[in-house]
Amino acid sequence: MTDKPKIAFYWCAACGGCEEAVLDLEEKLLDLVSAADIVFWPVALDFKRADVEAMADVSILATFLSGAIRTTEQEDMVRLLRSKSQFLFAFGSCSHLGGIPGLANLWTRDSVFRTVYAESPSTENPDGTLPQTRFADNGRELTLPRFFDTVRTLDQVVPVDYYLPGCPPTPKVLLAALDQLFGGRLPEKGAVLAPDRALCEECPRRDTRPEHLALDEFKRPPYALIDEGTCLLGQGILCLGPATRAGCEAQCVKGNMPCTGCFGPTSRVRDFGGKALSAISSVAAGTEEATILRAFENIPDPIGLFYRYSLPSSLLRRKRLNGREGGV
Amino acid sequence: MAEPQIRQIKIDPVTRLEGHGKIEIFLDERGNVEHAYFQVPELRGFEKFCEGRLAEEMPQITSRICGVCPTAHHLASVKALDSLYQVEPPPAARMIREAVYNAFLAEDHILHFYFLGGPDFMVGPSAPPAERNILGVIKKVGLSVGQRVIATRRRLRELIALAGGKAIHPVLGLPGGVAKPLKRDEQAQFLEVARETLDFAVFTLKTFEKVVLENSDYVDLIRSTAFTHRTYYMGMVDRSDQVNFCDGSIRVVSPDGSEFARFQPNEYLDYIAEHVEPWTYVKFCFLKTVGWKGFAENADSGVYFVGPLERLNASERMATPLAQEAREKLFALLGGKPVHHTLATHWARIVELLYAAERLQELSSDPQIVDPRVRTIPTETPHEGFGVVEAPRGTLVHHYQTNEKGVVTKANLIVATQNNAARIALSVQKAAEAYVHAGQISDGILNMVEMALRAYDPCLGCATHAMPGDMPLLIRVRDPLGRTLAVVSRDVDGRVVRDPGLPSGMTTARS
């Protein structure tokens, strides 16, 4: 082992997009490899859990952890990595806020299983077989990790030091965090390492945003011809830029589509979806209930639009289907 | 008390599955392979939580199934929306989608070839393990190649971001079109990258021919029975039965190569079904009309195979000249169509890389691609939509039902790697059967099991495109008391470490 600082990457309930964002450092990845020893990164390298277990506590400078926490195996791994790491970074929307897999909190684990293993139209399962955490097939014992009923953010499982937002975080956001880490310039613990201002402020269409917005209706993108040069909200497109933290440099807007909020809220906001909803409500025309309802007619899925990346971290956190559900 | 009779070989975890994976191989009392299991210990349940979402959000929500091939999910979803809203995108929109898709596919195939599967061949399965990785490839073909791989990947990903905002989870598609037209200067960039990619694809094929095909040991390995299964093959073809990644009908050929079925995306439920096992979270696809007959090959088993080789098997030709030439050579050398040798998938991937680059160049050269009309606004009430694309790893189906407001009421997804899940288990079993005898486990055996898997790029390889090192597995051989007999692993520099004496779970730390 060299005396270079040690870095780890790990993923839980995630898509691998955050890992791809690391690879998108391209040539700069080589700089990272020369500045630090990557001591654990299952997606790319072959160190195993036992290697991590064998390390002294707090011997890893920083672990970047992507993905939400959904299974027993994931919880065990994040507890282990927490104990071995001086700094734990929630890396990307899923570990930061719960992410898209967190939308599963609208249902119970059992109903997810029922849909996937019984009701899906392509599934042929006459015996109602479900995956088992422990199963003996002719004496051959096989195990699977158990699913929790609720998807959790990383900081709902272990203390988190810093957050890198985004689905996925951009290479630029990651590089800035690495610079702060290696340069000993990390801010106060608990900080989200991206600019603490709304995305609108760095949006290339900022100057076209109307002073006062009073929208009679929100247009759904499939039905709107979207102008490439002007503020999307000004065009009546539901863009979450006003509620969303900056840092991505408005990638989706550059793709001529609205911001969907993956960088989460600024530091002054506790509940991203609530903030987004209030920001959007404030640009709807009228004060009459009927007018407002009409304006919101084209928003039939407020949860999926306002809480797409943040349901597990929200004040709602979990849809309670009955008295006993909603816990872990 | 007699000791348990079963010995167990555990590959845990298979660290480059998107998510996690493990393989369990059980040996009988004579130490021969009794049964192999390919386990996926993860499920996120997209089918469930897509319910209640707006249909037009599906291309962005479902791309989060896989951050390595988000563009495949994105396009399958967008095509399902075209079908849902019964809209035909304008020609320029179709061209932009196809150009972006071919850029994505080329990038994905290049990285698999150079970093994941390729090293076994480029360096050789019997080469010193320490060289059997990307560094070994570079040593063999030159440092500038490594730089070209990184640069080509970056340039292709820039095209995706140019058209779709982001390379990871693009926002390109809407029902009936794309979010914005391509500008002339962007077209020029597409064309330039297409040319570079085509040059690189030609170089890659030449290298493969020189290093692999001129070595009879490698060719024998490709042909060996351990890596051969007679199964059905599935892939999308255009009207002339040419490979097409984006549009067409799905064609299935029998193990004897004859056409078995041909269907449209909206008929997939008549042909594809999924089987549930209690020991894994992944479902196993099979051909519905043949039926689930367990993990078995031949025409009476519904197990089928999708991916690069399978697309060649299921089609009659390639639509572009260089790819067609390469395809003919592949079939000529391997005894005609269909080719049942799983390892030939690596070769087929290069044939497809050529096609993707040639097609990208064709589309980028077409003046129509910069036509500003890229949207058809839906007017029909949505009800049900089906979208199919060929992901790098095979046929991908998205199927949605919605209410009249376009809110999803049901979503069903057949994902590329899932199509192959049964055949992967079969391959692991067969490779192990061929090499494991009387409980003798050698280093070579373990690498052969790895190779059986690696050929599928089963989203096992999906997530690992630019780091030194090969597809890292931990293969653990256990005795009946759970003691570790042997461990094989890779270190941070991609060196293979085979240590028969290591304690359970240990790998060698970086020196």
Q: Output DSSP code: residue B448.
A: H
User: B268: part of which helix (H) or strand (E)?
Assistant: helix B268-271
Closest CA to B11 of B39, B43, B41, B42: B39
> In A36-102, which residue ranges form alpha helices assigned H by DSSP?
49-54, 72-84, 93-97
**Whose CA is closest to B69, among B46, B40, B103?**
B103
- Fill in the DSSP letter of residue B3: P
pLDDT at B502 over 60: no
SS3 call for A240: coil
CA–CA min distance A160, chain B (Å): 22
Q: Do A23 and B466 touch (CB under 8 A)?
A: yes
Contact at 8 Å (CB) between B301 and B435?
no
Best mutation target, B275, B276, B290, B508, to test chain A (most A CBs within 10 A) = B276
Helix (H, G, I), strand (E, B) or coil at A91: strand
Q: In chain A, which residues have their Cβ closer than 8 Å to the Cβ of B19?
A: 16
- Ranges of beta strands (E only) in chain A are 6-11, 37-40, 60-66, 69-71, 85-91, 123-124, 134-137, 140-143, 147-152, 162-164
* Chains A & B: contacts with CB separation below 8 Å: 288
* Pairing outcome for strands A69-71 and A123-124: unpaired
Question: CA angle B166-B167-B171, nearest 5°?
Answer: 45
Helix axes B91-111, B143-164, angle to 10 degrees: 150
Distance of CA B334 to the CA centre of its chain: 21
DSSP annotation of B210 = I
- Give yes or no for residue B484 having a pLDDT over 70: no
Partners of residue A193 on adjacent β-strands? none
Cis amide leading into A204 (omega within 30)? no
Instruction: Provide the 3-class DSSP secondary structure of residue A295.
Output: helix
**Structure confidence at residue B479 (pLDDT):** 43
CB contact under 8 A, B280 and A71: no
pLDDT band at B445 (very low <50, low <70, confident <90, very high): low
Contact between B213 and B438 (Cβ < 8 Å): no
* Structural domains of chain A, ranges and CATH numbers in brackets: 6-100+149-182 (3.40.50.700), 199-297 (no CATH)
pLDDT value of position B259: 97
The answer to whether B464 contacts chain A (CB < 8 Å) is: yes
**Facing residue for B465 by CB, picked from A23, A39, A145:** A23
Q: Do B54 and A104 touch (CB under 8 A)?
A: no
Tell me if the bond preceding A222 is cis, omega within 30° of 0: no
- B254-306 tens-digit pLDDT: 999 999 999 999 999 999 999 999 988 888 999 999 999 998 889 999 999 99
- Give the span between the Cα atoms of B445 and B441, in whole angstroms: 6
Question: What's the mean pLDDT in A96-102?
Answer: 95
Specify whether the backbone of A190 is left (phi greater than 0), alpha (psi in -120 to 50) or beta. left
Token pair 């349940």: residue? B45
Identify the residue with better confidence: A82 or A34.
Answer: A82
| Geometric angle at alpha carbon B286, from B282 and B288, rounded to 5° | 130
- Predicted confidence at residue B441, as pLDDT, reads 67
* For residues B195-213, average pLDDT: 93
Record the pTM.
Answer: 0.91
What confidence score (pLDDT) does residue B487 get? 46
How far is residue B187's CA from residue B41's CA, in Å, rounded to a whole number?
43
- Cα A310 to chain center, whole Å? 7
Tokens at A157, concatenated = 């499982």
Share of chain A above pLDDT 90, in %: 64
Distance CA B38, CA B104 (A): 28
- Express as a percent the part of chain A with pLDDT over 70: 94
Token pair recorded at residue B358: 């040639």
Residue B497 in this model has a pLDDT that exceeds 60: no
Tell me the two tokens of residue A260: 């969907």
- Chain A interface includes B427 (CB < 8 A): no
The pLDDT of residue B232 is above 60: yes
Q: Distance between CA A58 and CA B239 in Å, rounded?
A: 61
Which residue has tokens 């979806």?
A273
CA Rg value for chain A: 22
Beta carbons within 8 Å of B448's beta carbon, 6+ residues apart: B125, B226, B431, B434, B435
More confident residue, A193 or B476: A193
ipTM above 0.85?
Answer: yes
What are phi and psi for residue B178, nearest 5 degrees?
-125, 160
Pick from A140, A184, A102: which is nearest to B429 by CA?
A140
Residues of B in contact with A20 (CB under 8 A): 67-68, 168, 463, 465
Tell which wins on pLDDT, A45 or B413: B413
Write down the pLDDT at residue B442.
63
- B294 shares contact with chain A (CB less than 8 Å): no
DSSP at A51: H
Residue in A47, A131, A305 nearest the CB of B278: A131
pLDDT at B1: 39
* pLDDT digit string, tens, across residues A267-289: 999 999 999 999 888 888 877 77
Of A212-216, A313-317, B1-5, B80-84, the poorest mean pLDDT is in: B1-5
Give the neighbor-by-neighbor strand order of the sheet with A162-164.
Answer: A37-40, A6-11, A60-66, A85-91, A162-164
- CA neighbor of B420 nearest in space, from B319, B308, B316, B303: B303
Tokens coding B221 = 């390995």
Task: Say what the pLDDT of residue B402 is.
Answer: 98
Asked if B142 is an interface residue toward chain A (Cβ–Cβ < 8 A), one would say no
Mean pLDDT of chain B: 83
What three-state secondary structure class fits B452? helix
**Which residue in this structure is represented by tokens 């299991």?**
B37
Nearest chain A Cα distance for residue B96, angstroms = 13
* Angstrom distance (rounded) from CA B24 to CA B485: 15
Contact B280 A304 (CB under 8 A): no
Lateral strand order in the sheet of B249-253: B259-263, B249-253, B232-237, B304-306
**What's the CA gap between B155 and B191, in Å, rounded?**
11
* Average pLDDT of chain A to the nearest whole number: 89
A304–B278 C-beta distance less than 8 A = no
Q: Cβ A104–B48 below 8 Å, yes or no?
A: yes
DSSP β-ladder status, B22-27 and B33-39: antiparallel
Hey, how many other C-beta atoms are within 10 angstroms of the C-beta on B4? 14
Euclidean distance between CA atoms B493 and A44, whole angstroms: 11
Say how many CA atoms lie within 13 Å of A250 toward its Cβ: 21
Contact B171 A257 (CB under 8 A): yes
In this complex, do A50 and B507 lie within 8 Å of one another by their Cβ atoms? yes
Q: Give A188→chain B minimum CA distance, Å.
A: 30
Enter the tokens of residue B2: 């007699």
- More confident call, B481 vs A196: A196
The answer to whether the beta carbons of residues B434 and B225 sit under 8 Å apart is yes
To the nearest 10°, the Cα dihedral for B76, B79, B83, B86?
A: 170
Residue contact A50–B505, C-beta within 8 A: yes
For chain A, helix, strand, coil in percent to 5 are 35, 15, 50
Q: What is the pLDDT of residue B417?
A: 76
Say how far apart CA B339 and CA B487 lie, in whole Å: 34
With 60 as the cut, is the pLDDT of residue B506 above it? no
Token duo for residue B299: 């025409």
Residues in B 194-213 with any Cβ partner in A closer than 8 A: none
Report the amino acid identity of residue B368: Q
Nearest chain A alpha carbon to B406: A300
| Confidence band, pLDDT 50/70/90 cuts, at residue A43 | low
Helix ranges (H only) for B6-142 are: 46-49, 58-61, 70-85, 91-111, 118-122, 134-141
Amino acid letter, A182: F
**pLDDT tens track for B78-88:** 999 999 999 99
Q: Are the beta carbons of B206 and B229 closer than 8 angstroms?
A: no
pLDDT for the residue numbered B183: 97
Closest to A91 measured CA to CA, from A183, A179, A155, A28: A155
Tokens in use for B399?
Answer: 């199927």
- A 10 A CB-CB count for B28 gives 13
Residue type, B319: A
The residue count for chain B:
511
Beta strands at B232-237 and B304-306: parallel, antiparallel or unpaired: parallel
In this predicted structure, what is the pLDDT of residue B457? 64
Hey, what are B246's tokens? 């984006």
- Measured in angstroms, the CA of A162 and the nearest CA of chain B are apart by 23
**Averaged over B206-233, what is the pLDDT?**
89
> For residue A302, how many other CB atoms are within 10 A of its CB?
13
User: What pLDDT does B125 receive?
Assistant: 65
Strand order in the sheet with B384-391: B384-391, B394-402, B408-414
Contact criterion met (CB < 8 Å) for B60 and A303: no
Bridge partners (DSSP) listed for residue B173: B178
